[in-house]
Amino acid sequence: MSSDARFFAFLKSRIGLDVASVGEAIIERAVRQRCTSVKADTADAYWQLLQSSADEQQALIEAVIVPETWFFRYPESFGTLGKLAAARVVQLSGVRPLRILSLPCSTGEEPYSIVMALFDAGLQPQQFKVEAVDISPLSLQRARSAVYGKNSFRGDQLSFRDRYFSQVDEGYLVNEKVRERVSFQTGNLLDPNLLVAQSAYDFVFCRNLLIYFDVDTQRQGFEALKRMTREDGLLFIGPAEGSLLGRMGMASIGIPQSFAFRHRSEPVADPFAAQPAAPLPPVSPTLAPSVSSKPAPSPRSKPVTRPFASTPATTRSPAPPAPVSTGEAATLLNSIKQLANEGKSAEAKLACEQYLKRYEPVASVFYWLGLLSEVGGDVIGAQGFYRKALYLEPQHPEALAQLAALLAAQGDSAGARRLQERAARGVNKEGRSR
């Protein structure tokens, strides 16, 4: 095993991270950063330290993950939660309070948003309790401090800030009424001894976490989440995870943009079993995502969330990559498109990998990787890449179309229909905007 592969394996065993989902360069830079911090001259010396120090193990994990979240992210989910929670309180008739879980909770924006949404829906403090779990002690420390800067408030619907925050020198402090409804604890979804995994919740939020696991770890994570969600409860997930969950014995509740799923009784096929390759459309310019309508991100722009541990959670490079012009990124994207359309699959895949090593990920690169995987007969791999594209750009039309076609070919007509309806909503929204 190479020196780098040892660290990849360590992170997979500890937090379930599939290195292919974020790129080897991210991990390599994190290791270099930690080597510098502890004055380890070689990778071997750092590896020996890592094996003997629990503190250093956590430090490496912290160097790889970074919280990138904000209040009321996916607002439709919180609106749905408020309505359904109010109805559930009536059903319970005071027998017990609602139990709600946020995992991973990152720096606290999600669990505090849950509390605010429930207050807005008319619930009283004694009628619910939110438990919040994250693998990162540093993220939890910030969550408990409950002070947030401007980056945690996005969009133009910020009236909640006037109702539930007070302004302080460092930013905005969450009101005590909200803070006292949340309890924070350190934990890992993949830990069989995780305390919260021993009970079931009325509502579980676990969004944008599992798409950065490999297949075996996804299976483990999904089973844990199902156990933690009551039979009459709901699981809220990320936009790109619905198709996987739909084949794990859960079904969408049918409220658009809520990304909420419930248990269902009918048996479902194993979503992780090998699937035959579906008939593929030719790789042609008509499938190509536009690379000129939206400029490629600069390497100096803000990191995109990748929530495999702390996000919904995420990844950063410990040291910034060398400055590269946006024009060079756009040129490489055009090269990927041209190589794929010429049938040069190996060269196109290599160009995609080069892009991910040099720049922050964009949806079109994962779309091309999905299409190239399909051409090579790797249907499961293609699905994973399409989901990553949809995580970065939920309305990416080509990724929606290709993933819907794959699900339909596998017999998941409901999953395919959901994606097709989602694509149609995007087209209609764009038309209204124009």
pLDDT digits (tens, 9 = 90+) for 125-163: 999 999 999 988 888 999 999 999 999 998 888 999 999
**pLDDT top residue among 103 and 375:** 103
Residue 310 lies in a domain: no
Task: Give every CB contact of residue 430 below 8 A, 6+ residues apart in sequence.
Answer: none
Asked if 404 and 352 sit in the same domain, the reply is: yes
Maximum distance among all Cα pairs of the chain, rounded to whole angstroms? 65
User: How many structural domains is the chain composed of?
Assistant: 3
DSSP 303: P
Q: What number of other Cβ atoms are within 10 A of residue 40's Cβ?
A: 19
Tell me the CA distances in angstroms from 389 to 57, 262, 302, 370, 398, one per residue in order: 30, 25, 18, 9, 10
Residues 188, 379: Cα–Cα separation, whole Å? 29
Asked if 105 and 31 sit in the same domain, the reply is: no
Residue 270 lies in a domain: no
User: HSE on the CB side for 286, CA within 13 Å?
Assistant: 4
pLDDT digits (tens, 9 = 90+) for 71-114: 999 899 999 999 999 999 999 999 999 999 999 999 999 999 99
Residue 236 lies in a domain: yes
**Stated length of the chain:** 434
User: Which residues are paired to 234 by β-bridges?
Assistant: 203
DSSP 65: B
Residue 373 lies in a domain: yes
Asked if 107 and 38 sit in the same domain, the reply is: no
**Residue 366: pLDDT above 80?**
yes
Where does a domain end: 64, 87, 104? 64
Q: What is the pTM of this model?
A: 0.62
Asked if 60 and 79 sit in the same domain, the reply is: no
Identify the CATH number of the domain in which residue 425 sits.
1.25.40.10
> In terms of residue numbers, what domain contains 121?
75-263
Instruction: Show the DSSP H helices in 201-319 as ranges.
Output: 215-228, 242-246
Residue 183 lies in a domain: yes
pLDDT digits (tens, 9 = 90+) for 308-332: 333 333 333 333 333 444 688 889 9
Please give the pLDDT value at position 279: 36
Tokens of 305: 């969330």
* Mean predicted lDDT score pLDDT of the chain: 79
DSSP 208: S
Identify the CATH number of the domain in which residue 107 sits.
3.40.50.150
Asked if 8 and 148 sit in the same domain, the reply is: no
Asked if 222 and 296 sit in the same domain, the reply is: no
Q: Decide the pairing of beta strands 147-148 and 171-174.
A: antiparallel
